[in-house]
Chain A
Amino acid sequence: MSAPVASVPETFDCRVAFAEELSALAREDERIVAVCNDSVGSSNLVQFQKEFPDRLINVGIAEQDMVGVGAGLALSGYIPFVCGASPFLTGRALEQIKADVAYSQSPVVLCGMSPGMAYGELGPTHHSIEDLSWLRAIAGLDVVVPADPAETRSAVRWAANAARPAFLRVGRFKVPAVTGNRPFTFGAATTLRDGSDVTVVAAGTMVSRALDAAAEAAEQGVSVRVLNMSTIAPLDEDAIRLAMRETRGIVTAEEATTTGGLGAAVAAVVVTERTPVPMRMLGIHREFAPTGTTAFLLEHFGLTAADIRQAALALAHTDA
């Protein structure tokens, strides 16, 4: 192996941290169970299955059944982590999520594995970019998007203790560690970099890109604040209002459709304030992706650090 390039940080598949933490929790609390859809491998549950064969319920390729079974377990005192590839978990079982989980207030932890465009070349059927819009529309469902392995662990632990209907987006596309030792705090944005000109509100895979963008913008004399918005619903509205007061514009960045996800949530706060600030919403604009790897598609849809920087610079140079 050749020497690593100094500027390229190590990156991680968050499913690994997710699975380790889930197994650790299961050792502490026998109410923890996992439910999956022929996805023992893709949900990284091989170790869990070895240790707790009876507590892994693999219903086969049947997502509606999977979520219903999860609700039944939750209503019987168990803490089910329902794990499946995010497009099928959310798309196929949306009504079960609405009726059996959210409306029934059954404390199921829905774990959307490999979300966004993590399944690159497998195409739009396997992309989960609508999930944030769909799920944010459902009352009483928490929507959580961790940004790195540490935050994923922390969010898994939070979900097990919270006993609320929740959705966790568990990333497969490799990301660097960005959150340091800050634990996941439900409902609160974390400021990963302070800044006074423009605020970038990012989630999941976009957070490290937002930090890179902020560093590059600083070299061009623009001070960019980066908020990691790991809870999409309910949204930390105070953090948005503060950003409106202290910076001149807001860029949102998400690996999802902008129709109803993070950008839309932030915009709903911004436009209902007395003095809105200009915004740019980065994401996918109601389009099915062409064929390509995840990295290719992120570039295709303008979701690189350079794109975020450009949007931030544009806002910094707009006279409000």
Chain B
Amino acid sequence: MLVADPGTAAAWRRFRQEFSDSGPERRREMLRERANQSRTTDLHMIGRAGLGHVGGDMSVLDILTTLFFSVLRVDPEKPDWADRDRFVLSKGHTAGALYATLAAAGFFPTAELDTFAGPLSALNGHPNRVKVPGVETNTGPLGHGLPVSVGMAVAARLSSSSRHVYVVLGDGELQEGSNWEAAMTAGHRHLTNLTAVVDRNRLQQGARTEETNTLDPLDDKFRAFGWDVLEVDGHDHLALYDAFTAPRGERPTCVIANTTKGRGVSFMEDRVEWHHKVPSAEQIVAASAELAR
């Protein structure tokens, strides 16, 4: 099991403090900058490892950054704290994005990122809770995160804890039936302490979601299963923040975050082939330059 990096964790705490003390413009700037740094980190990890899921990583990084740097009640130095909020990355193939985010928050030393996917590394191609602090359950096969999150939300209620469960789902992932079994359970049980975030980039591995197996109208589907639905721009950090922190009603919340696969790197944006293509060294330089702007 990796251990926390106290220095980075302290910087993360200062970030969180400054965020809560700041007005909207500063807040937006802080999260934007942080997310783009993680994008750059992730691109280098993928380049070094020669594998990864770059399109989905770029797509989900604003969601992950907003959660870890402004919303989640967690402590990188106490990953086992019982009343922490729970975060589950159901689309586990974007582990690189999660690792970059966790390391930036101090859950483990950033130097560890250099080992991503290397021999005997804790940082497998899909996240492993047994080795990586901050990972709550092992994902990789799609359609597992929501049922597990429902279990965590039921547990929080049973133990009268105010902790909240956030789970990030891919949109293609929603073709798995297990999601709808869990959605039904969550709706039936009025799990107000559960928020499912759909990374709605409209692409899956081989094609557009709507050309493969139609998901729309996605909002109506979740409503019909007993959920409240919010739809936001998934790259607008403040809109995400508002959706994640808005007072909850009587039902679980689904945040449909409209995103662009490959976001932030012009030649990757909305292009299906970047699902798991590995950028060349020159492409990483070009992409990093775009992200530094």
Contact = CB atoms under 8 A, between A and B. Distances in A.
Nearest to B170: A61
Contact size range, A: 20 to 34
Interface string B3-46: 00000000000000000000000000000000000000000000
Contacts of B118: 291-292
A41 B117 CA distance: 23
Interface stretch (B119-127, B243-251, B259-267): B119-127
Given A38-B207, A291-B119, 7 more contacts: A38-B204, A38-B205, A88-B141, A91-B141, A123-B125, A125-B141, A291-B122
B280 interface: no
B212 A38 contact: yes
B49 A61 contact: no
Contacts of B187: none
Contacts of B138: 125
A121 B51 contact: yes
A122 interface: yes
A154 interface: no
Interface string B122-164: 1111101000000000111111000000000000000000000
Interface string B91-134: 01000000000000000000000000111111111101000000
Contacts of A42: 205
Contact of A292 (B119, B128, B209): B119
Contacts of A291: 117-125
A296 B141 CA distance: 23
Interface in B200-221: 204-207, 209, 212-213
10 contacts: A38-B205, A38-B212, A42-B205, A58-B212, A60-B213, A62-B176, A121-B117, A290-B120, A291-B124, A292-B119
Contact of B120 (A40, A63, A91, A292): A292
A123 B119 contact: no
Interface in B160-204: 172-173, 175-177, 204
Contacts of B143: 61, 92
A296 B120 CA distance: 10
A247 interface: no
A61 B120 contact: no
A138 interface: no
Nearest to A61: B175
Contacts of B121: 291
Nearest to B212: A60
A87 interface: yes
A143 B49 CA distance: 35
A121 B125 contact: yes
B175 A40 contact: no
A59 B172 CA distance: 11
Contacts of B139: 125
B126 A125 contact: yes
A259 interface: no
Contact size range, B: 20 to 34
A63 B123 CA distance: 27
A64 interface: yes
Contacts of B49: 121
Contacts of A58: 206-207, 212-213
A55 interface: no
Contact of B128 (A38, A123, A293): A123
A307 interface: no
Nearest to B119: A292
Interface string A82-110: 00000110011000000000000000000
B206 A41 contact: yes
A126 interface: yes
Contacts of B122: 291
B264 to A, nearest CB: 24
Contacts of A38: 172, 175, 204-207, 212
Contact of A92 (B119, B124, B141, B173): B141
B126 A122 contact: yes
B128 A61 contact: no
B205 A39 contact: yes
Interface in A40-78: 40-42, 58-65
A125 B140 contact: yes
Contacts of A62: 175-177, 213
Interface string A119-136: 101110110000000000
Nearest to A85: B141
Nearest to B115: A291
A61 B177 CA distance: 9
The CB with the most chain A CB atoms within 10 A, among B92, B119, B204, is that of B119
B141 A122 contact: no
Please name the 4 residue pairs, one residue from A and one from B, whose CB atoms are nearest each other, closest first.
Answer: A125-B140, A60-B213, A60-B175, A122-B125
Contacts of A39: 205-206
Contacts of B119: 290-293, 296
Contacts of B141: 87-88, 91-92, 125-126
A112 B143 CA distance: 19
Nearest to B140: A125
B176 A40 contact: no
A88 B51 CA distance: 20
